[in-house]
Structure 1
Amino acid sequence: MKRLIISPFPKKNVPAPERELLELLFDTPELHFRSEQETFWYELLFGEKNTAPAFTSKGSIRIIQFNIQQADYPEETYSEWKTALLSFFNSDSILLELSRSYGLIIEPLSDSMLGEAELEAVADTLFSDFFLPVKFFMGLFHSKNPKLRAIFEEERALFDLSSERPIETVETASLAPLASSLKNSPIAAELVQLFIDDETLKPLIETLYKNQGNISLTAKDLYMHRNSIQYRLDKFQEQTNLSLRKPSGLLFAYLCTRIA
């Protein structure tokens, strides 16, 4: 039986000393799959690349990763938790259990797919019923083709367990690498200094971005008058010539807040 350290990010990205320590502390259980479908998906996504099975059917799927944010819990609770988790998804979905904390839901495209808000409600419900905190990563829809393994590896690398968000998506998780690329930018550094000088700017930009540029919702979240938000946006543009009313300007400023 194969033994494999499974994590939401490639093993090669973990420095050798830390990886050796993790392998000593956490004995990875042997993987036992209950169906041919589970074995198929494991071999496709994690097995030897030159022996990966080929698809026999068409259609699209998405892969939702999950990670339980708790180390110790009874086996009976875990078993009931997995049953409850699957009940929220299409009956044709497959739960691929890769460790006691990490696994995948492989879900065929259908008319009744959970959105980001619904998946967050699932996380809340599971915590209320079982007291097991869980983070999810919602992948994109992908057709069944030979590129799927490489696509999944990229999605797996984007799953950031340190994020405060209970639900991560490709679009939200991709912002961190984009922001990281700005660390050596003198332009970004100038904006970061502006955030340091005026501590109200960063929460304003973050809230405005969360609300997709909606000034009324931003004013409500920050307990400010709408005119006050308008004034702050005008003042920021006067200082920087960067308009937070434009999607591109707001995105750039938000990425700068991620490195501030």
Structure 2
Amino acid sequence: MNKTTLRAIYPEAELHSYPATDHKYLSIPDHDGFLWISKAELSKKEIALLTILTDEAAPIVAGEHLWYQVLFQQKALEEKGRFRVIQLMLQTPKNFLEDVWQENIVGIFPETADFFFLTPEQAILVEKQAKHSLSKEELAGIFLALDDDFETVSRVFVGGFHESSDAFPALFEEEQDIFKEEVKRLKRTTVFGIADVALHYFTKEALAKSSLTRSMKEEWRIDDEMKEIIQALWTNQGNLSSTAKELFMHRNTLQYRLEKFQEQTGMQLKNTEDLILCYLLLTN
């Protein structure tokens, strides 16, 4: 049973990014959040059936975790400092050793302020900024090793460090929206942050409305090999040697493909501005 079907059956249901803590509501986990259905609208049989079919997330997390209340229930944050929220999505094996995995996670982040699961597939880690907080690149290596050890598949969004002010929940909410949107696109990326998706996320609406960019895409008809080259060039910051190595391509072959693309489109991908434009066209 999916969210679309349930919304059709229960049109008064509301979609939220967190499970209901009010026992008057049944909250049904979904990849996009939680569907809240008022129990007053349900029969006892419906409540029992929906609970069984959806493996309803228990609402006890709110009572146990301060940061759950801060992020989702507008509780005032008294501790001063700078914090970041690391959002995780997990695919786990049947024999997943959750307790051992969680011990590893908390051990990796000595400045962990809080850690909890929203659903069996979604987790939140709040970290206080320290002198040597792990970089995104370091985290990528760590989660690669964890996935190998625990047979998991991790997708991780590393939020920015923000002051513990009243604005913190709103900043997290926007980061949560960005993660949900961009994780669908970056299928081969384990760990990413705002800098990796900013160009795409904040320009996609303008590009979608542009007749000019639509015309470019139609006229250029970029083939699959060229799409891969543009993506690799972007990842390697325009470095031809690194791009050729990643694509298992001779540097001269790469140079030839870039020259042919320039003849076709007028875009010189060794130029940063041209590469940015082509990357944006490719990802929108």
- Please confirm whether the aligned pair reaches a TM-score higher than 0.5, indicating the same fold: yes
The 5 A counterparts of 1:198-213 are 198-213=223-238
Deviations 1:156-204 (A, max 9, x none): 1122443412123212334443345423433322332355364432111
Post-superposition shift, 1:7? Answer: 6.2
For structure 1, which segment, 103-112 or 224-233, has the greater mean C-alpha deviation from structure 2 after superposition? 224-233
The 1:114/1:57 distance shift into structure 2, 3 A limit, reads same
Structure 1 residue 94 corresponds to structure 2 residue 114: yes
| CA distance in 2: counterparts of 1:103 and 1:56, whole angstroms | 23
RMSD across aligned positions (CA): 3.1
Deviation by residue 1:41-96 (Cα, 9 ceiling, x = unmatched): 1111111xxxx23232322111101111238545xx11221111111112443212
- Matched residue of 1:183: which SS? helix
Q: How does 1:1-260 map to 2 (within 5 A)?
A: 2=21, 4=27, 9=32, 25-33=53-61, 39-47=65-73, 52-70=74-92, 72-73=94-95, 77-160=97-180, 161-162=183-184, 163-164=186-187, 165-177=189-201, 178-179=203-204, 181-193=206-218, 196=221, 198-259=223-284
Q: Is the Cα–Cα contact under 8 Å of residues 208 and 218 in structure 1 kept in the other structure?
A: yes
Q: Paired residue for 2:7?
A: none
Give the corresponding residue for 1:18: none
Measure how far apart 1:105 and its partner are: 0.8
Deviations 1:86-143 (A, max 9, x none): 1111244321222222111100111222222322222222223222222111111111
Q: Which residue of 1 aligns with 2:38?
A: none
Number of residue pairs matched by the alignment: 243
Q: Shift of residue 242 of structure 1?
A: 3.1
Q: Name the one with the larger strand percent.
A: 2
Give the unaligned 5+ runs of structure 1. Answer: 13-21
Would the alpha carbon gap of residues 229 and 57 (structure 1) be closer, same or farther in structure 2, given more than 3 Å must change?
A: same
C-alpha distance in 2, partners of 1:59/1:197?
48
> What fraction of aligned residue pairs are identical, expressed as a percent?
29
Which structure has more relative contact order (CA 8 Å, sep 6+)? It is: 1
TM-score by length of 1: 0.78
Residue 10 of structure 1 contacts residue 157 of structure 1 at CA under 8 Å; is this kept in 2?
no
Q: Is the 8 A contact 1:195 1:202 kept in 2?
A: no
